[in-house]
Amino acid sequence: MYTVYVLKSDIKNFHYIGHSKDVAIRLKAHNAGKVRSTKAYRPLVVIYTESYSTKSAAARREYFLKTAPGNIWLRNKLQTAGVW
């Protein structure tokens, strides 16, 4: 099982979209400063996840969420849920 996840910074207006087989381990790597693109925005928390059976499906969804229409969809979904 692969998970597409969205992280949000607790200190800055920043979010990160990625996919992983183990989100808990990946979150620890992000918060430990081992991921260059999120290092300056720590601490990060998971605010959204979606599960997929294949890595390629998760990668396609991650790519979509990083596009303009995908990002608009994501922000609307998170604002409706009161997370954003």
Residues found in the chain: 84
pTM to 2 decimal places: 0.94
> Is residue 7 within 8 Å of 45, Cβ to Cβ?
yes
> In the chain, how long is the greatest CA-to-CA distance?
33
How far is residue 25's CA from residue 64's CA, in Å, rounded to a whole number?
24
User: With bands split at pLDDT 50, 70 and 90, how would you rate the model's confidence at 81?
Assistant: confident
Domain spanning 2-81 has what CATH number? 3.40.1440
| Mean pLDDT, residues 22-42 | 97
Tell me the pLDDT tens digit for each residue of 35-70.
999 999 999 999 999 999 999 999 999 999 999 999
Predicted local confidence at residue 83, as pLDDT: 83
Q: Residue 48: left if φ>0, alpha if ψ -120 to 50, beta else—which one?
A: beta
User: With bands split at pLDDT 50, 70 and 90, how would you rate the model's confidence at 82?
Assistant: confident
> Is residue 30 within 8 Å of 16, Cβ to Cβ?
yes
Predicted local confidence at residue 51, as pLDDT: 98
